[in-house]
Amino acid sequence: MENNIAVGLDIGTTKIVAMIGRKNEYGKVEILGIGRSKSLGVHRGVVNNITQTIQSIQTAVQEAEAASELKIENVTVGIAGQHIRSLQHSDYITRPNSELVIDEDDIERLINQVHKLVMLPGEEIIHVLPQEYKVDGQAEIKAPIGMYGGRLEANFHVVVGQVSSIRNVGRCIKSAGLNLEGITLEPLASANAVLSQEEKEAGVALIDIGGGTTDLAVFKDGIIRHTAVIPFGGNVITEDIKEGCSIIEKQAELLKIKFGSAWPGENKENEIVSIPGLRGRDPKEITLKNLSKIIHARVVEIVEQVYVEIKNYGHEEQKKKLIAGIVLTGGGAQLKHLKQLVEYITGMDTRIGYPNEHLAGDSDEEITSPLYATAVGLVMDGLKRQERKKAEIKEEQAEVTPLEEPDEEPEQPKQKPERRSFLDKLTERVKDFLDNAE
């Protein structure tokens, strides 16, 4: 596959999407091909049947390859699921020499220290996201590099997940004949695809309503402040309709998509849908009012849980107020009147997030659906990762060239390429584990 092309693989509970994209000359992302398949081996964002998941991945990948006439080798994959949790943590280092300014190595040392945190058995730190720094007790420092100080401390947002779940995803990708290029937290990928920089600065909560889980990412002052995964999504709404109307799942899903609304007052008493009965049985008649009551009850529950998380972040404090409100994305965001309901429950401004923020202007209508927010975000992430790699290779080459003054400090250049983000290290670890496990 060519160098400047990236593939995002969104392994969801209801669908698996493989998306191929590249940057065009204006720096926008151009989608070259997309493949989707029904996701069979995933429950609430976690792989629970390896064989089925591998088949679903292969189906999606083949479809994307056929659409783009490219061969897919490397993929950037998103992880979510009910095993993800996050915590706040502060840590500090004492610098050996406060005569020197703080540099990236100090920050690296501090972040590595956070990685030594003891987690519950079987848990692994996925992301360590610095919030703000303190230098010698001076608080609210955004970028400490270049400052003087002896004690460097920071507040961190730490995202934790189950090792086995992450390895299972890696296993599926490897067995599907693909190479795992990178791992990203899905709420972060969706956020990159649908939020503007201004919203992240002003303060915004991104709610990604998927099939099996609802992901939340809260941004303020341009920094991610809080993440959460709630183990409910569009599937439980379909389940409720199935139970409440005694119909089969396929019909419940169609009803939800075609006639569903989150606001019961919208439907008149006399609007009725007739559903063909199972073999030889009479058709069922369902009032749209009842349908939307069932949906309403479940959606309220999901939104209230998300709102608890937004309050946990501290939205009610003046300094932490989310001025840009809420952005809804994911397949569940297509439910009629959901925006109004969310505004009613939370009292926050709400909009539906379409992943067109960074896509080329002539993109298909279909691709800009909230359904594909995560996949678009993963493609962007893959492209960014490649740019970083290119920059590192360039740096290495630049450092190799000069031949004069060998007496300076020959061991310095070797330090440089080490500065990988923790996710890259996690990817490496998952790869190593898979290579050794075979």
Domains in the chain: boundaries: 234-298
Q: Once rounded to an integer, what is the mean pLDDT over residues 133-141?
A: 92
Alpha-carbon separation of residue 13 from 82, 89, 318 (angstroms): 11, 31, 37
Q: Which residue has the tokens 């995002």?
A: 8
Residue written as tokens 């330090």?
Answer: 415
Classify strands 123-135 and 29-38 as parallel, antiparallel or unpaired: unpaired
pTM: 0.88
Say what the pLDDT of residue 403 is: 55
Confidence of residue 270 (pLDDT cuts 50, 70, 90): confident
Query: Which two tokens mark 342?
Result: 């969310």
Contacts of 36 (CB under 8 A, 6+ apart): 15, 16, 17, 18, 60, 63
Residue 315 has pLDDT above 60, yes or no: yes
> Given 3-state DSSP classes, what are the helix, strand and coil percentages for the chain, each rounded to the nearest 5?
40, 30, 30
- 3 vs 94, more confident: 94
Average pLDDT over residues 147-155: 94
The full DSSP string for 352-390 is EPPTTSSB-TT--TTTTSGGGHHHHHHHHHHHHHHHHHH
**Model confidence over 420-431: pLDDT tens digits?**
666 777 788 888
Q: How confident is the prediction for the chain on average, in pLDDT?
A: 89
Residue 220: which pLDDT band, with cuts at 50, 70 and 90? Answer: very high
pLDDT of residue 357: 82
Provide Rg for the chain, Cα atoms: 24
Predicted confidence band at 413 (pLDDT cuts at 50, 70, 90)?
Answer: very low
Pick the CATH number of 234-298 from 3.40.50.920, 3.90.230.10, 3.30.420.40, 3.30.565.40: 3.30.420.40
In terms of pLDDT, which residue wins out, 154 or 314?
154
**pLDDT band for position 207 (cuts 50, 70, 90):** very high
How sure is the predictor about 277, in pLDDT bands with cuts at 50, 70 and 90?
A: confident
Q: Looking at the predicted structure, is the pLDDT value of residue 416 above 60?
A: no
Confidence class of residue 417 from pLDDT cuts 50, 70 and 90?
Answer: very low
Task: Please tell me the least confidently modeled range out of 9-18, 68-77, 151-160, 396-405.
Answer: 396-405
Is 60 exceeded by the pLDDT of residue 69? yes
Q: Is residue 264 very low, low, confident or very high in pLDDT (cuts 50, 70, 90)?
A: confident
> Is pLDDT at 418 greater than 60 in this prediction?
no
Amino acid at 219: F
| Residue 406: pLDDT over 70 | no
pLDDT in tens, 12-45: 999 999 999 999 888 899 999 999 999 999 998 8
CA dist 194 to 21, 357, 398, Å? Answer: 16, 6, 36
* Rounded average pLDDT over 169-176: 94
Alpha carbon distance 244, 319 (integer Å): 44
pLDDT at 279: 84
Stretch 376-383: mean pLDDT: 95
- Give the separation between CA 336 and CA 258, rounded to whole angstroms: 9
Would you state the structure tokens that stand for residue 138, as one six-digit string? 């001076």
Q: What is the mean pLDDT of residues 211-225?
A: 93
- Averaged over 347-365, what is the pLDDT? 89
- pLDDT above 70 as % of the chain: 93
The pLDDT of residue 392 is 84
Q: Residue 256: what pLDDT?
A: 94
Task: Report the C-alpha gap between 215 and 206 in whole angstroms.
Answer: 8
pLDDT bracket for residue 414 (50, 70, 90)? very low
* pLDDT tens track for 281-313: 888 899 999 999 999 999 999 999 999 999 998
Identify whether the C-beta of residue 84 lies closer than 8 Å to the C-beta of residue 159. yes
Q: Residue 1's pLDDT is what?
A: 59
